Structure 1
Amino acid sequence: MKSQLLGALLLILSIPSLHAQTLELSGKIQDKLSKEALVGVIVINQKDSKYTITDSEGNYSISVDQNDMIEFKYLGYLSTTMKASSIKSVISLSQDDYVLNQVVVSASRDAQKREEAPIAITSIGRTMLEETKAQSLDQVINKVPGVLMADLGSEQHMMAIRQPISTKSLFLYLEDGLPIRPTGIFNHNALNEMNMAVAQNIEVIRGPASALYGSEAIGGAINLITKTPSLVPTAQVQLRGDSYGYRRVDVTVEGTSKNGKFGASIGGYAAKRENGYLDHSDFDKTIVTAVLQYKVNESLVLKSNTTYMKYYSDMGSSLDSTSFYDRDFTSLHNFTKREIKLWRSTFTADKTWSENSKTVAKAFFRTNTLGQIPSYRIKNDWGNPSVAKGEVNESAFQSYGAVIQHNQKIPSLKTTIRVGASVDYSPTTFWANYIDVQRDENGRYVGYTSTDSVLTDYQTNLLNTGLYAQVEVNPIDRLFITAGVRSDHFKYDYTNNLGEEAFSGAPNSVNYFNAITPRVGATYTMLNGLGFYSNYSVGFMPPQVSELYRGVKVPTLEPSYYNNFEVGTWYTLPSGFGYVEGAYYNMSGKNEIVSVLQEDGSYENQNAGSTNHQGVEMALHFKPVSQLFVRVGGTYAEHTFEEFNTGKEDFSGNTMANAPNWIANMELTFKPRFLKGFRTSLEFQKVSVYYMDNQNTKKYDGYHVFNLRFGYQFKGLDTWFNIMNLTDELYATRVSKSSWGENYNLGAPRTFQLGIGYTISKNK
């Protein structure tokens, strides 16, 4: 009897201890690098498979026992499992840049799985951005298969995405889904107006995206997505420099209030180069971005994003063939320059009406002034070899606009409908004055004198309105069908401030352009991880302001259209080893604008060309063991003139200039387990031979470059050492040929980059 009573007593006493093992586990989950709250993370108790999902602030709560193993899973991030009793209040997850089915936003202006988007799109994640330690955006964007961003120095560039290396308005540059410049005044250097220091990730769309974003999204679109304020107070400082006079400091400070309602961040960098590898190539850039976010309630979030930039760069000349191959990097110019001042502000209201209904509205303001003494405008006076003519010019714009999009899910029909509208009103001005340029006995342009001779002086009020709609249907499991269409309307209201006798004496005029651009596509993913997609899309480009009004009359020009057919596939390798993907595209351009010789010897812009662009793009991300990462990407493409007659020469059937067949980028990354925090990578960039001119008379042999990177991260400390162009290859990022000769844009010689950074945050 006594033993029975003792057993009952022990059982009663044990009950509280058993209950003591059960706890309510709660906390926040954030991105390890950005400290951004992660919404939708699955928190699973492996014992009974019960789970919960993090809310809009990254919070979760789940009942567990102390010894349970808890797994945290999120698409695009490395999963992690921990014992319940050892889990801290804030969990940090690391991005996995070697998975395919990450979440993307640029394909629909809203978050969706990559496998649901019938489009060639690549997301460059925060991990890749941080580990590359890029001094300019080309050093990360060139990792995307089928993309070549040609570095022109001082963060200036040309682009090639399903097009030859070009300065034409064939590419759209976005910040958080909004174009950073209005249609009609494209600048091929526009990515130097971005703030790399605050990039959460960069998404690259290959192929036309006009059905969603409008004009100029033809070869592709690049969308830099800004970081949202971190969950915890965080500050980061990075110092870097290289062996050719480059110096830069990055600073970011951010955080969110304890109640999770208010978040703020400010970040940017100041960069300068003096006495670089190329003569007359100094530059100075300061850019800062401030983000404010306020959560009014569970369904309404307000956000503002403001960027200011001041930029100056020398504008040295390209090299002729003799100077290039003799490694004589002396510039013919010593006073040409480019200066930019800009301000961009965006206010966003994100309203969730219900689980299936959401509206996002953005209002924006932009002001941008670009002043130049351009080297490419200097022309010799053949009657007097000691003088030349040039110009000083300034283009400026202000923009006022808005974009609103509503997303409506209809679960019973397995359908999502997205409808939107946009308006952009941008008054623009442009003026240019002649200058008299002096030359020395060596043919260098050494000085100039201002004149009273006005070359150009006009203003153009640009108005672009657009309506678009997109429907996404999931009729059966793993099949997604997308169809969309956009209607755009443009008004160019041009006023010339000069008389008819001026070089730019085009009369006052109003021009209208309209376009309807459709898109349709489908994706299907099999159970074994093999997926397919196909799409048809149309891109269009209205004439640029400079193509219409920089002359003695206004030519009659129509928008250029591009029809793109595309098929693609991907396969997720078993056991998390990585993935492989590929795409084939065929794009035809109609009504391309070319400069046509007239009977009086002058040139006039006309719709006189048609082209064909086709190619295959491939990518392999392979992770055979946890310490080793292999990335292989490349494209084989052909760019030809179907019809191109200038009136003096017929290029029909020729290969387009600056159109390499092969572009490849490969990288091997090693992160040894025995030295936690250490990383090293070897990158290989290959650009094949291409014609320098449309006449197909001469070729450039192309180039290959190796880049070697080392880095070490210990808690908040991060150090790195990069050797760019490891073998000191002599190469040009672009070579062209004209009646004046050959022009080589010099690629950087072997460069040593060194940097150190420190991040401090509440949970470190």
Structure 2
Amino acid sequence: MRFRHVLFAGPYSWRVKSLVSLSVALTLIGANGVQADDTGLENIERITTTGSRLATADETMPVVISRVDEGDIKLVSPSHIEEVLKFVAGAGVQRGNGQEYLPALRSQVFTGAGACGGLLTAEDGIPLRAAGFCNINELFEAHAEMAQRIEVLKGPGSVLYGSNAVHGVINVITPDTTRDAGMIGVDYGAYGYKRAKLRKGKDFGDSGIGINASITHNSGYRDGESVQQEKVNLRHRYDTDDMTLTTGFTFTNLDQDTAGYVSGFESYKVEDLARSNENPDAFRKNRAVRLWTNAKWDLTDGAQLSITPYFRNQSMDFRMHFLPGTPLEKNSQQGFGLQSQYQQPLNENWRLDVGVDYEYTEGGLQQFQDGPTQGSAFLEATVPEGQHYDYQVDATLVAPFASLMWEQKAWTVTIGARYEYMNYDYTNKMIAGRTRDDGTECGFGGCRYSRPPSGNNHYSNLSPKLGVSYQYSDNTRFYANLSQGYRAPQATELYRLQRDQQTADLDSETVTNVEAGVKGYVDALSYVVSVYHMNKDNFIFRDSDFFNVNDGKSRHRGIEVELRYQFTPDWDLAVAATHARHTYEHQQILSDINIEGNDIDTAPRTLANTRLGWNMSANSRVELEWQHVDEYFTDPENLHQYEGHDLFHLRASASVTDNLTVYARILNLTDEAYAERADYSGFSGDRYFPGLPRHAMVSAEYQW
């Protein structure tokens, strides 16, 4: 039986009422239920660095910050970050092949050039890519498989984040390895999967150093696919009486042979097709380096100051197997930035937070096709071999922000704003227009790819935020926030044009978010229930003339539940569920159909993850996971769809000695034939990334 039939049966309004009823019930329990003792869940203080750069308890914040803790990460031993992000209500990451993926957070799954700008990803608070230069797969540059925790801020509710944090922030927090501790570990699994892990630190008292590293190899389930990946975090700490200085260095390298979509309706259900590879020449090579230093001072009168300069360098080569002619793309970015925050209590009720963020980036992109296009006469004539794009963009970002917080008895009110100025200085290194690289014309009216002349674009955005939380009882808190978010157009949307378009006159996407919810702890139960409504304007999309335009509108509304229940000392339950609708709200005719009011493609209305855990002893645990993905449309016209799926995973861990822990996992327990991602293309029809059949993995970790 599918989850939606249990909790979300009936029309949309009834499904929302079901979760609202649940939230009311939890609230009443929180107000009148039996109080837990001093070890109860309501006494656990959770500290976040994503909601504030200065470590802060998140219970009073008028936003939702979900987290995946180290214990869950160790038990899962994820081969891909999707395996743990599904523990967060509203997150709907879809795996591609290897380490590729498409993200979603309170949204449809993001696809297309620049769509990644709807979600900010970071490691230790430093964005993985510069604003304006995102990549849809960029989370493979974060060391999530060996993280201390992963924090997910939902919605545009914080003044600390500007462009790209439209739907929220995913922040991977690496461990503090500057203490005396060590760990070595190995993962081994089906289809040639293996990983070696190392963590070691040395504490010198007022300073320390440490390393966090992993090497992964996976020969893969499908023909011709493989992954070789290395990740290293280095850290140094230095403490004085009133200052902590922490320096971090991250290096990641990915060398991947990629298997693309399999084509044909429900082809993922046919094993020979599911294992095939229609794009044997596809690959991705990615290298990333980040260096940062964070200085925190404890000043007089309770004031604090945080300053974080950072440097970033990234380059990627990949075969664009999904395009006619399968061109090769080379992109890179290098630059530096500064994050700052000053916090000053004004009196016992008021607190001021101010800061300025700055970033300068030099980014470049080349696209080259080394042979003639295969296909129709139109494709052969309009997609020429040779250089398609070659440009550089120098981007400067300046963003001051300020926030006031007022606390009085049960009330907490925050009001703030962030202003952001983004400037692009674009240099086209080729002939402008839609010609071949030698200036000759293509047939059928011109070449597919169009290069605008060199120029300059700049964007200014102001985003106000208002949040309120109210402590209704000792263990129940209501919250609400009203906020605006934005993202400047990405460089690829401005300068990687097609057909007749010579310039892209694009404004920033903006979103208005209204959200309310309740957080609580009751005896052995902790819960968060949230309802949100987001309207997005200037939605950027490619129209029927293949022009990048942004007169689109979309609407995102939903309800989320996250809960954990320890119903006996040995048994516990964790649930992360969401029901939402993401719809087009602008008129656009596709295939003679006006898509206004349609579900955005790849937007399942219901996602639910349930984990039942049994602590067999103080040193052993078994966990059964049920992941439900609702059916969803695969095209904007809502003419094609994927049926959805239900997966079950079984995991176990046992401490053999005080130092040695072993883990075992059986994934896709029922051997379900399913698609990690389903899509529909006018050129190839239904296409899929097939999921893995039932398979097993084991791990061992030795700590000292």
Indicate conservation of the 8 Å contact 2:373/2:385, yes or no. no
User: Is 1:585 aligned to 2:529, yes or no?
Assistant: no
Using the TM superposition, give the Cα deviation of residue 437 of structure 1 relative to its aligned residue in structure 2, in angstroms.
6.3
Please report how far the alpha carbon of residue 277 of structure 1 lies from its aligned counterpart in structure 2 after TM superposition: 1.4
Could you say which residue in structure 1 is the equivalent of 2:468?
522
- Take 1:154 and 1:543, find their aligned partners in 2: how far apart are those partners? 28
> Hey, what does 1:252 align to over in structure 2?
199
- What secondary structure, in the 3-state scheme, does the structure 1 residue paired with 2:224 have? coil
Cα displacement (A) at 1:698 = 1.8
Give SS of 2:594's match: coil
After TM superposition, the structure 1 = structure 2 runs for residues 214-233 of structure 1, keeping only pairs within 5 Å, are 214-231=162-179, 233=180
Aligned-partner SS, 1:597:
coil
CA drift at 1:410 = 2.6
For 1:604 and 1:753, how far apart are their aligned partners in 2? 47
- Aligned AA for 1:162? R
TM-score with structure 1 length normalisation?
0.80
Can you list the C-alpha shifts for 1:501-536, whole angstroms capped at 9, x where unaligned?
544431010001110011111111223412100001
Aligned to 1:712: 654
Map residues 683-762 of structure 1 onto 2, 5 A cutoff.
Answer: 683-713=625-655, 714-740=657-683, 741-760=685-704
Whether the 8 Å CA contact 1:316–1:332 is kept in 2: the answer is: yes
DSSP-derived class of the 1:390 partner? coil
Aligned counterpart, 2:424: 492
Residue number in structure 2 paired with 1:420: 355
Task: Find the residue that maps to 1:715 and give its secondary structure.
Answer: coil
Task: Measure, in 2, the Cα distance between the counterparts of 1:100 and 1:689.
Answer: 37
Structure 1 residues 109 and 563 mapped into 2: Cα distance closer, same or farther (>3 Å)? Answer: same
C-alpha distance 608-210 of structure 1, shift in aligned 2 (>3 A) = farther
Deviation of 1:309 after TM superposition, in Å, equals 1.4
Shift of 1:298: 0.9
After superposition, where does 1:34-433 map in structure 2 within 5 Å?
101-167=45-111, 168=115, 169-196=117-144, 198-209=146-157, 211-231=159-179, 233-257=180-204, 260-274=205-219, 276-295=220-239, 297-322=240-265, 323-327=267-271, 328=273, 329-354=275-300, 356-377=302-323, 379=324, 389-412=325-348, 414-433=349-368
Which AA in structure 2 matches 1:364? Y
Q: Determine the C-alpha separation between the residues in 2 that align with 1:437 and 1:754.
A: 46
Contact 1:211 1:537 in 2 (8 A): no
Please identify which structure carries the higher strand content. 1
Change (3 A) 1:474 1:143: same
For the structure 1 residues 185 and 177, does the alpha-carbon distance in structure 2 shift closer, same or farther, using more than 3 Å as the test?
same
> Contact 1:590 / 1:609 at 8 angstroms: preserved in 2?
yes
What does the per-residue CA deviation read over 1:616-663, in whole Å, with 9 as the maximum and x for residues that have no partner? 101221012221111112001011111142687531111111111110
The C-alpha deviation readout for 1:260-311, integer Å capped at 9, x for no partner, is 211111111000111x21223201001111000111x210111110011111
Alpha-carbon deviation of 1:736? Answer: 1.3
- The farther-off stretch of 488-497 and 730-739 is 730-739
Contact kept, 8 Å, 1:555 with 1:606, in 2: the verdict is: yes
1:75 aligned partner: none
Give yes or no for contact 2:610–2:626 (8 Å, CA) kept in 1: yes
Instruction: Kindly state the Cα deviation for residue 140 of structure 1 after the two structures are TM-superposed.
Output: 1.2
Question: Which residue type is aligned with residue 471 of structure 1?
Answer: L
What code does the residue aligned with 2:313 have? T
1:154 Cα deviation after fit: 2.0
CA deviation vs aligned residue, 1:222-241 (integer Å, no higher than 9, x gap): 1111222353x222111111
Q: Contact (CA 8 Å) 1:692, 1:698: kept in 2 or not?
A: yes
Q: Does 1:458 align with 2:387?
A: no
> What corresponds to 1:384 in structure 2?
none
SS of the residue corresponding to residue 148 of structure 1 reads: coil
SS of 2:299's equivalent?
strand
Counterpart Cα distance in 2 of 1:623 and 1:396:
48
Give the structure 2 partner of residue 93 of structure 1. none
Q: 1:452/1:614 Cα in 2 relative to 1: closer, same or farther (>3 Å)?
A: closer
Larger radius of gyration: 1
Q: Give the Å deviation of 1:351.
A: 1.1
In the alignment, the residues of structure 2 paired with residue 315 and residue 243 of structure 1 have an alpha-carbon distance, to the nearest angstrom, of: 18
2:308 partner letter:
K
Aligned to 1:563: 512
Give the whole-Å Cα distance in 2 for the aligned partners of 1:372 and 1:353.
Answer: 48
Change (3 A) 1:548 1:432: same
Q: Contact 1:144–1:633 at 8 Å: present in 2 too?
A: yes
Q: RMSD of the TM alignment (CA)?
A: 2.1
User: CA separation of 1:616/1:335 partners in 2, compared to 1, >3 Å: closer, same or farther?
Assistant: same
Choose between structure 1 and 2 for higher RCO, CA contacts under 8 A separated by at least 6 residues: 2
Q: Is 2:460 the counterpart of 1:511?
A: no
Checking the alignment, whether the CA contact within 8 Å between 2:410 and 2:472 is kept in structure 1 is: yes
d(CA) in 2 for partners of 1:100 and 1:523?
Answer: 19
The one-letter amino acid of 2:222's match is L
Q: How many residues align?
A: 634
Q: Quick check: 1:594–1:646 contact (8 Å CA) kept in 2?
A: no
Between the aligned partners of 1:407 and 1:210, the Cα distance in structure 2 is 15
Determine if the alignment matches structure 1 residue 479 to structure 2 residue 411: yes
For each residue in 1:591-613, what CA deviation from the matched residue of structure 2 results, as whole angstroms up to 9, or x when unmatched? 10111234xxxx21111210111
In the superposition, relative to structure 1, how do residues 101 and 701 fare at CA in structure 2: closer, same or farther (>3 Å)? farther
Look up the equivalent residue of 1:486 and give its one-letter code. Answer: R
Rounded to whole Å, the distance in 1 between the matches of 2:129 and 2:162 is 13
Aligned-pair CA distance for 1:432: 1.3
- Please state how far the C-alpha of 1:346 moved relative to its aligned partner: 0.3
SS at match of 1:128: helix
Residue type at the aligned position of 1:314: D
Find the residue that maps to 1:240 and give its secondary structure. Answer: strand
Contact map agreement 1:99 1:579 (CA 8 A) in 2: no
What amino acid is aligned across from residue 105 of structure 2 in structure 1? I
Q: Which amino acid aligns with 1:494?
A: Y
Supply the distance in 1 between the matched residues of 2:527 and 2:310 (Cα, whole angstroms).
39
Q: How does 1:527-606 map to 2 (within 5 A)?
A: 527-551=473-497, 553-574=502-523, 577-598=524-545, 603-606=546-549
1:270–1:286 contact (8 Å) kept in structure 2: yes
Deviations 1:35-66 (A, max 9, x none): xxxxxxxxxxxxxxxxxxxxxxxxxxxxxxxx
Q: Distance in 1 between matches of 2:221 and 2:130?
A: 34
Which stretch has the larger CA shift, 206-215 or 153-162?
206-215
CA distance in 2, matches of 1:312, 1:485: 41
Distance 1:99 1:311, change over 3 A: farther
Q: Secondary structure at the match of 1:366?
A: strand
- Contact 1:98 1:623 survives alignment (8 Å): no
CA contact (8 A) 1:210 1:539 kept: no
CA drift of 1:109 comes to: 2.2
Sequence identity (%): 25
Q: Look up the match of 1:682.
A: 624
Distance 1:98 1:704, change over 3 A: farther
Of 644-653 and 360-369, the range deviating more from structure 2: 644-653
Quote the residue 2:596 is aligned against: 652
SS in 2 for 1:160: coil
Runs of 5+ consecutive residues of structure 2 not aligned to the other structure: 1-36, 376-383, 436-448
